[in-house]
C-alpha cells in the first residue's frame, strides 16, 4: 500500500470498526510499536477501549472519517459491512487495505459469487433474486435451498431454509423483498477455511487450512492440525483462496470459507475481507498471527510464510456460557481458573461488559504437542465451562 517504503513502527495505523477483530488488530499493532486509531461510535467498543485514539462517530460521518485519515498513516477495516463508500473516502487521503472495491465485492453475495466464477472456483449452484420476475424464474433444481440476503448477513443471520416455491416466496417476502441469492442446499461432509495475506507487491502467504464446526449458524470450534482435512483438498483450498485474492488484486488478510461435499469435492462458500474467527488459533499456534499479517500487509512490511508450531483447537466463547443450564438469572463468571489450570490453554476475552446468549465474548485457544492432546484438553475445557 505504501509503495516501496514500508510504514515503520512509530507510525499510526487506523481501523474502521471497533469490534473484537479490531481489538486484536490493535493488540498486534501495538506489540510491534505502532500507534493505533479506531473509529467506532460505541464508547465501550472492544477495540476503542484499548486503542491510543478512539474516534466515536458513525462509519459514514465525514468529520469522523476526516479525523481517522488525519491521525492514521494507513487504514484497514475489521468489519465487512462498513459502507464501502467510507473506505473510498479514506482511500482518497490515505493508503487503505483492503481497497474499497474488494470490500464491496465481499459485501454482496451476488458479486462475490460472480467473482468466484471469474476465478474458475466452483460454488454452490445459485440464482440471484432481486425482483418478482427473478423469483418466478427460479430453477426448481435449486430446491431445497437456502435463501440469503445479498448484503449484511453474518453468523447465519439473514438466511432462511426453503423446501418449496411457496416457502421461497414467503421467505423472500419476509426478508422485505431485498436482493437475495438462493443457493442449493448441499450435502456437506465438512467445512474448512483458509486465511491468505497478500501484499501490495503481490506476495501471498497463507495459514494452514482450518476445519470448522458451526452450531446454529455460528462458528463453534476450529481444529488445525495435520490431517484435519485430506491433504489433496487442503492443497486445492489454498490454491483456490490465493486465486480469489489475486483476482481481486487484494491487499490485506482475506478469509475464504469452503464446503467439502459428501462426494469429496470442494466448493467455495464465501469470503471475508479481514481476519476471521476461524483464524484465531494462529495467535498461539503459529509464528505469525492473522492480526500481525494484517499489520504487515497494511504497513507494506515483508510477508514470510507462517509456520504452525503446535496443533490447535479453538473454542468460541459465546455469552451463553455466562448462563449455565439456560438460567436467565444473573450472569455468572465462567470457571476461568479451572480452565487455565489445563496445560496449553490460552484465554482471549474481548472486554464486552454484558454477556448475552449468542454474543461472541471471547475464545479459548488450546495448543498441545499432538492433535489428540489438544482435542482432549479442549473437551475438558468445554466440560468445565458447561
Ligand atoms: P454467514 O455469512 O452467516 O457465515 P454462510 O453463507 O457462511 O453465512 O452460511 C452459514 C452456514 O450455513 C455455513 O457455515 C453452513 O454450515 C451452512 N450453509 C450455508 N450455505 C449452505 C449450502 N448451500 N448448503 C449447505 N449448508 C449451507
Ligand atoms: Mg460463513
Per-residue model confidence as pLDDT tens digits over 299-316: 999 999 999 999 999 999
How far does the centroid of ligand 2 lie from the alpha carbon of residue 67, in Å?
33
Q: And the C-alpha cell for 370?
A: 499432538
Ligand nearest the Cα of residue 155 is 1
Pick from 81, 106, 156, 212 the residue to mutate for probing ligand 1's pocket: most ligand atoms within 8 Å of its CB. Answer: 156
Residue 191 has pLDDT above 50, yes or no: yes
How large a percentage of the chain has pLDDT more than 70? 98
Which of 246-250, 320-324, 326-330 has the highest average model confidence (pLDDT)? 246-250
Task: Return the ligand 1 atom nearest residue 148 CA.
Answer: 6
pLDDT tens readout for residues 113-135: 999 999 999 999 999 999 999 99
Supply the residue whose CA is at minimum distance from atom 11 of ligand 1: 217
- Judged against a pLDDT cut of 90, whether residue 325 lies above it is answered with no
Predicted confidence at residue 224, as pLDDT, reads 98
Which atom of ligand 1 lies at the shortest distance from residue 188's CA?
25
Is the predicted pLDDT of residue 3 greater than 60, yes or no?
no
pLDDT band at 386 (very low <50, low <70, confident <90, very high): confident
Q: What's the CA-to-centroid distance between 257 and ligand 2, angstroms?
A: 7
For residue 109, which atom of ligand 1 is closest to its CA? 6
Ligand 2 centroid to 154 CA: how many Å? 7
Ligand minimally distant from the alpha carbon of residue 144: 1
Cα 320 to ligand 1 centre (Å): 22
Atom of ligand 1 nearest to the CA of 157: 3
Q: Where are the beta strands (DSSP E) in the chain?
A: 12-16, 35-39, 53-55, 74-77, 126-129, 145-149, 159-162, 180-184, 188-198, 204-206, 210-215, 218-224, 252-261, 266-272, 312-318, 345-349, 360-367
**Nearest-ligand number for the alpha carbon of 109:** 1
Q: How confident is the model at residue 265 (pLDDT cuts 50, 70, 90)?
A: very high
Q: Which ligand is nearest to the Cα of residue 216, counting in written order?
A: 1
pLDDT score for 328: 66
What pLDDT is stored for residue 2 in this prediction? Answer: 42
What is the pLDDT at residue 80? 76
Among protein residues, the one with the nearest Cα to ligand 1's atom 17 is 217
Q: How many residues does the chain have?
A: 386
Of the candidates 241, 238, 217, which has an alpha carbon nearest to the alpha carbon of residue 229?
238
Segment 208-249, tens digit of pLDDT: 999 999 998 899 999 999 999 999 999 999 999 999 999 999
The best mutation among 141, 217, 255, 260 to test binding of ligand 1, ranked by most ligand atoms within 8 Å of the C-beta, falls on: 217
CA 281-285-291 angle, to 5 degrees, is 55
Helices 290-299, 20-31: axis angle to 10 degrees equals 70
The band of 153, judged by pLDDT with boundaries at 50, 70 and 90, is confident
Rounded CA-CA distance 25/51 in Å is: 10
Mean pLDDT over 331-358 rounds to 96
* Closest C-alpha to ligand 1, atom 15: 217
> Which atom of ligand 1 is closest in space to residue 155's alpha carbon?
3
User: Any residues with Cβ below 6 Å from ligand 1, and which?
Assistant: 124, 146, 148, 153-156, 183, 185-186, 188, 191, 214, 217, 257, 269-270
Nearest ligand by distance to the CA of 148:
1
Mean pLDDT of the chain: 96
Q: How far is CA 205 from the centre of its chain?
A: 17
Q: What is the pTM of this model?
A: 0.96
Atom of ligand 1 nearest to the CA of 124: 23
For residue 164, what pLDDT band results from cuts at 50, 70 and 90? Answer: very high
Q: Are 38 and 15 in contact (CB under 8 A)?
A: yes
Amino acid at each position: 500500500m505504501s509503495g516501496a517504503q514500508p510504514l515503520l513502527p512509530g507510525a499510526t495505523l487506523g481501523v474502521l470498526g471497533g469490534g473484537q477483530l479490531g481489538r486484536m488488530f490493535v493488540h498486534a499493532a501495538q506489540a510491534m510499536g505502532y500507534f493505533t486509531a479506531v473509529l467506532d461510535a460505541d464508547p465501550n467498543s472492544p477495540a476503542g477501549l484499548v486503542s491510543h485514539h478512539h474516534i466515536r462517530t458513525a462509519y459514514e460521518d465525514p468529520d469522523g472519517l476526516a479525523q481517522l485519515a488525519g491521525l492514521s498513516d494507513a487504514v484497514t477495516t475489521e468489519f465487512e459491512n462498513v459502507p464501502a463508500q467510507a473506505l473510498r473516502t479514506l482511500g482518497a487521503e490515505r493508503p487503505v487495505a483492503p481497497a474499497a472495491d474488494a470490500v464491496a465485492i465481499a459485501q454482496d453475495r451476488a458479486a462475490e459469487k460472480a467473482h468466484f466464477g471469474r476465478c474458475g472456483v466452483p460454488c454452490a449452484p445459485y440464482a440471484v433474486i432481486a425482483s418478482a420476475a427473478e423469483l418466478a424464474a427460479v430453477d426448481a433444481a435449486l430446491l431445497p435451498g437456502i435463501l440469503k440476503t445479498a448484503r449484511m448477513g453474518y453468523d447465519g443471520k439473514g438466511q432462511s431454509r426453503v423446501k418449496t416455491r411457496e416457502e421461497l416466496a414467503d421467505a423472500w417476502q419476509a426478508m422485505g423483498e431485498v436482493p437475495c441469492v438462493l443457493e442449493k442446499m448441499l450435502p456437506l461432509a465438512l467445512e474448512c477455511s483458509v486465511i491468505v495475506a497478500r501484499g501490495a507487491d503481490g506476495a501471498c502467504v497463507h495459514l494452514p487450512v482450518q476445519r470448522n464446526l458451526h452450531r446454529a449458524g455460528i462458528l463453534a470450534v476450529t481444529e488445525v492440525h495435520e490431517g484435519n482435512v485430506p491433504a489433496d483438498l487442503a492443497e486445492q483450498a489454498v490454491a483456490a483462496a490465493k486465486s480469489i485474492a489475486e483476482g481481486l488484486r487484494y491487499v490485506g488478510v482475506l478469509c475464504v470459507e469452503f464446503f467439502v461435499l459428501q462426494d469429496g469435492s470442494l466448493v467455495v462458500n464465501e469470503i471475508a475481507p479481514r481476519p476471521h474467527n476461524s483464524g484465531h488459533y494462529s495467535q498461539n499456534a503459529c509464528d505469525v498471527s492473522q492480526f500481525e499479517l494484517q499489520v504487515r500487509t497494511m504497513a507494506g512490511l515483508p510477508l514470510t510464510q507462517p509456520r504452525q508450531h503446535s496443533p490447535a483447537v479453538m473454542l468460541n466463547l459465546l455469552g451463553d456460557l455466562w448462563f449455565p443450564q439456560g438460567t436467565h438469572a444473573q450472569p455468572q463468571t465462567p470457571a476461568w481458573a479451572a480452565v487455565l489450570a489445563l496445560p496449553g490453554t490460552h484465554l482471549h476475552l474481548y472486554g464486552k461488559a454484558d454477556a448475552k446468549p449468542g454474543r461472541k465474548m471471547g475464545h479459548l485457544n488450546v495448543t498441545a504437542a499432538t492433535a489428540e492432546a489438544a482435542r482432549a484438553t479442549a473437551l475438558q475445557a468445554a466440560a468445565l465451562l458447561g
